[in-house]
Amino acid sequence: MPWRPRGAPKETLAPKPKREPRIDHIVEALFLSCPVCGFSRKLDKSGRWARLRNKEIDIVKGRVHFGNFDLDDSYLVQIRDCSGSRGHGFPVTGGYTLEQLKDMPEYGEVVAELKRTCEAILDKLSSGS
């Protein structure tokens, strides 16, 4: 938009025409949403993105699972380096495990909320049988 002095009337622009969709049909995919955090990911990892671009897939894809968090050693609260070098993400520099968080009063609300959520999930799963 070109420069105009403050208070000058705005130009009326014609709306952009709607773009036609690239595909004619609806493409659906199943996603699994984590009941604890709400993060969702595709249920079945097929590597379709890589195959469409003729790239080699060097890892085995499959069904998503919840067992990738080690309850004894993984940090539930992570400390990350946010000093910022582009393209490197935020590397984990430390943190607190679940066992350590239980004894820290400043994270008492987080632990209590996690406990309530997990109990509600377990009650929901066990009431169906």
Residues 36 and 87 in one domain: no
Q: What is the pLDDT along the chain (129 residues), one digit of tens a residue?
A: 567 777 777 776 677 788 776 767 776 778 888 888 888 888 777 667 666 777 666 655 677 777 778 889 999 999 999 887 777 788 899 999 999 999 999 999 999 999 999 999 999 999 865
Question: Quick one: 55 and 87 in the same domain?
Answer: no
Q: Which residues span the domain enclosing 118?
A: 70-129
Q: Same domain for 32 and 61?
A: yes
- pTM across the whole model: 0.60
| DSSP 8-state secondary structure symbol assigned to residue 96 | E
Last residue of a domain, one of 44, 68, 92: 68
Task: Determine contact, residues 64/43, Cβ cutoff 8 Å.
Answer: yes
For the chain, what is the domain count? 2
Does residue 17 sit within a domain? no
d(CA 110, CA 112): 6
**Domain membership flag for residue 9:** no
- Residue 50 shares a structural domain with residue 81: no
